[in-house]
Structure 1
């Protein structure tokens, strides 16, 4: 009878330890996954949102610089003779910068709406270059006044369309960034839950150990009384 009681106790302890081992491994796996997801969220925040937002800012600066350069070249009150060769060279330099920034932007993670807006932006940029060339051709072959008229009629609209697309992409960056923040907060909440589970498991282990110790003492007292009888 005593042997049977001892064997049952050992089986309970073995099952209890196995349960603890499985629970600890599961919590550890969930924690590792949570940490990995949090790390990916922060990396994505930096590479796919913060850097692209900065690139959009520089892209907008280059577009504005082109507009200002062309507008100043067509200014009827300018006293310095305009060099169309130099103008084309400077515009080409800005276009090269813009192409580089757009290509860099395409290399980041893009959501569906972002892909659509970026495709529209690229179309607007190409249209803008064609209009710029037409304006320069009109001013160079004919008169500055005609070039200025074409700029007022088509050039400003083209630049405004590009600016609108850049603003829309910037808003997408903000919305996507807020989504990543919410995702990070959810991951943090999950980590807190895992920590709470570990604390509860530790308390449960403590209670079970105390219970086993008390049970062992009771069994020893009964055995002593049995031997005395």
Structure 2
């Protein structure tokens, strides 16, 4: 009977320990997965959201600089020549193209890609209009150039800025979503860590119980000596 009891206890302990070890392995796998997702989220926030957000600032700066350079040439009595202002605008155009290529290399959700495409079209159309204004100035039609700059040019410039602002808002929304996802993954990781600690405590208690039962059975085996 004692041997039957010992075998049953060992089987129960083996099943319990096996289940606990399986749970530990599962928790470790889930923890590693959670850490990987957290790292990916933070990497995406930096590479696909923070850096492009800085690029958006530079895009806005270049657009405003182009607008001011052309305005200064058209309406101020400066020594800047048509060739010089044209080179200034082309230099800003090259900078804008470079920034747009950098943004396109990042991960974009469908709404971001659509908004970026719209912005690129606005920038292209505005560049064509700038060239048209410069051509009018070169042909001696300054008044027509002024009217185009203040009329259609102002409207197209404002549309470009509004489109850029809309793209920035989308970037912010997606970044906030990634932050919420990271927080959720972090909470899951903390829960798994607490579970692993609890499992470790249970294993310790099981081992102590086995040691205690082993001692009790050993004591029962020893014969009593009468004086």
Residues 111-134 of structure 1 show CA distances to partners (whole Å, capped at 9, x for unaligned) of 111111101101101110111111
Equivalents in 1 of 2:189, 2:24: separation in Å? Answer: 14
Which is further off, 162-171 or 4-13? 4-13
Name the counterpart of 1:87: 85
Please give the alpha-carbon distance, in whole angstroms, between the structure 2 residues aligned to 1:84 and 1:116: 35
2:102 to 80, 101, 104: 104
**Matching residue of 1:59:** 59
Deviation at residue 12 of structure 1 after TM alignment: 2.5
What is the distance in 2 between the residues matched to 1:68 and 1:94?
12
Deviation string, structure 1 residues 46-87 (Cα, Å, up to 9, x no partner): 100000000011111111110000111111x4153x422222
**Aligned equivalents of 1:169, 1:91: Cα separation in 2:** 23
For residues 80-229 of structure 1, what are the structure 2 equivalents within 5 Å?
A: 80=79, 82-224=80-222
What stretches of structure 2 of length at least 5 have no aligned partner? Answer: none
Cα deviation code 1:158-207 (max 9, x no counterpart): 11111111111111121112111111110110011001111211222233
Aligned partners of 1:213, 1:177: CA distance in 2, in Å?
54
Distance 2:171 2:151 in 1: 32
Paired positions, count: 226
> TM-score, length-normalised on structure 2?
0.92
Sort the Cα spacing of 1:209 and 1:79 in 2 relative to 1 into closer, same or farther, 3 A. closer
The two structures have a TM-score, normalised by structure 1, of: 0.91
